[in-house]
Every structure is written in C-alpha cells, then in structure tokens.
Structure 1
Amino acid sequence: MTTGDRLSLLVSGLGPIGKIPYASGTWGSAAATIAAPALFLPLPGFWRVLILIALFFIGSFTATRTETLLQKKDPSHVVIDELIGQWVTFLPFASLPTLELAAGFLLFRAFDILKPPPVRASENWLPAGYGVMIDDVLAGIYACICLAIFHWLRS
C-alpha cells in the first residue's frame, strides 16, 4: 500500500472515525457537528462555500480510491461524505445554539438514512466517489431547509 493509499483511507475515513465498526456514518456526522462551531460556522459565507467545494472534490477523490482499495462500493469506512452533508446543513448559519446543532444533526441523519427523492437516485448520477458525495450534499440541503424553518420558528 502506497503513502497515497494510506492518505486516502485517512482522509476519507476522517482519521479513525471510519474504522468504527458500527454506525460510522453517525459518528462522522457527530464529529462534523461537534467541529462546526469552531471550524466552520465562524468563517464568512464565501469561505464556507469554498471549503464545501474543496471537500466535495477531495472527498470524491479519496472515496473513489477507498472504494478501489476496499473493493466495495460506498464502504462504511468513507465518512467524509457525512462531514460535507452535515456542514451543508449548517451553511447559512453564523452560529447555532446547542439545541439547533442537535436538530441539524438529527435532520441530516434522517435525510441521509431515509434518502427521499432525489437523494437515493443521485448516488447514480455521478461515478464512483462523486456519487458517494452528492447524495449527502442533497440530504444536507433538505436538512438545511428544515433547520432554517426550525430556527425561524424559534426566533
């Protein structure tokens, strides 16, 4: 295994999170939610969008490589897609109280697991790791809309 292969596994799995044997996607979303107030939400909107674009391409590349290495389509090891989906959920917010962070986490997990149209279909719109990433982006958009409504109702 090359250094590049090890790096792809490390990045696609968000370090050790992808190695968690049970519910690694939920753990990836939890890590993204915990990290968001320090690493994502304080940034200006322009930088958040750039980070999401970069994450999409980095995640697509590393997920593709991880699929090849593990010889499995969308392996549970890949959790970088949860990071991008969770941060898409939080995209329009400069800060969120703990209750709304938790609501965003639950909303994203629900949409990621239930995969309402066109989330499930989107997995096949793009090849390999791009398909792995795009469905989480769409689940994040659904969750973001619901979180924005929840936030507005609480204001």
Structure 2
Amino acid sequence: MIALDRKTLTPAQRRELIASPAGWIACGFGSGLVPKAQGTAGSLLAILPWLWMRQWPLSVYAWVVVVVFVVGIWACNVAGRKLGVDDHRALVIDEFVGQWITLAPALLAPWWLVLAGFALFRLFDVAKPWPIGWLDRRLKGGLGVMVDDVVAGLFAAAALWLLVRTAGIPLPWR
C-alpha cells in the first residue's frame, strides 16, 4: 500500500499498521496514529514506560534502549515498505528511543527535569541541527528512521546533563 504523502494515512493503512506486530511497534503502540503532532505523541507516550525503567540499574536501562533501537530498525523497515514511505510521520518508535536516551541523566531526578528533557528532545528532534538533519536526509529505511532520533537524544541528554550539573543535582547512576 502506498501513502499519498508523508502526512496522510488512509483508514486501510492505519488498520494494516496496527494489525501487524512490526506496524504496531513502529507506530509506537498506536501513538503515531494521532492526527497531528505524531512525534510529540510518541515522545509523551515514551515517558510512561520510562517511569518504570528509571528504577532499573543503568546497565539494564541501556540494554533495553539498544534492544528497542534494533527492533525499531526492523519494525520501521517493515512498516515503511507497507506504506511506501521510508520515514512516515506515523513511525514513532524512534521517539521512544530518543526520549529514553535524553532522560538517562534524569533517572532519579525531580519531575521538572523530565519536562525539561521532553522539551529538549523535541527541540533537537524538530530543529535537526547538524549532524541530525544531515543523517535524516541521507540514511534511509529503518536505520534512517531511528538514527537521527538517537543523535537528537544524545544532544538533548548532553543539554539535560548540563542542566543537572548546573542545578547541583547529584547524578543518579548506580
């Protein structure tokens, strides 16, 4: 099935995505199917499992992020082929990984740092400064979907870490 553009999904395409495990994962468990601001919806939903993940040792947390990254590449490859668009807006599992990377410095920090991390990740993901935009334009398929958000997450995590250090909050890593 071919998407007419990067924004619009037909009801049949929506059903096809949520009917397959790859589509369900790639669409961020349905969060990418909202009519507008799909990336923001995916980033918001990513905070729910993060609230549970934040209690894990950093090594387990990191492994989960890596596993979801690899599964996300596969899922976005499959879903992108179904849609006929490499990086459709509905594919938001990359927002989960990027948000989780961003929030690593805030694992046991106050709630306002979670809000700051969310805002920082959205800023880097939308603005796409170099090399994020460069990667977004050059890499295709599932890897292309995932990598630019990983780099945006790294940039946002660095900014959040600076905020944590500036505010004098002890780092939570165990």
Q: How does 1:4-153 map to 2 (within 5 A)?
A: 6-38=20-52, 40-124=53-137, 126-153=139-166
Bigger radius of gyration, 1 or 2? Answer: 2
**Matched-pair identity in %:** 30
> Tell me, which stretches of 5 or more residues in structure 2 are unaligned?
1-14, 169-174
Decide whether the 8 Å contact of 1:5 with 1:65 is kept in 2. Answer: no
Q: How many residues align?
A: 154
Other-structure match for 2:4: none
**Cα contact 2:26–2:75 (8 A) shared by 1:** yes
Structure 2 distance, partners of 1:50, 1:97, is 24
Q: Which amino acid aligns with 1:57?
A: V
- Distance change (3 Å), C-alpha of 1:144 and 1:83: same
Q: CA deviation at 1:48?
A: 1.2
Whole-angstrom distance in 1 between the partners of 2:155 and 2:17? 37
Q: What is the CA-CA distance between 1:2 and the residue it aligns to?
A: 8.6
Q: CA RMSD in A?
A: 2.0
> In structure 1, how many angstroms separate the alpha carbons of the residues matched to 2:18 and 2:116?
37
The 8 Å contact of residues 120 and 135 in structure 1, kept in 2 or not, is answered as yes
Deviation at 1:88, TM superposition (A): 0.5
Unpaired segments ≥5 residues, structure 1: none
Q: Which runs of 4 or more aligned residues in structure 1 lie more than 3 Å from their structure 2 counterparts after TM superposition?
A: 1-5, 124-127
2:61 partner amino acid: R
CA contact (8 A) 2:17 2:79 kept: no
TM-score, length-scaled by structure 2: 0.82
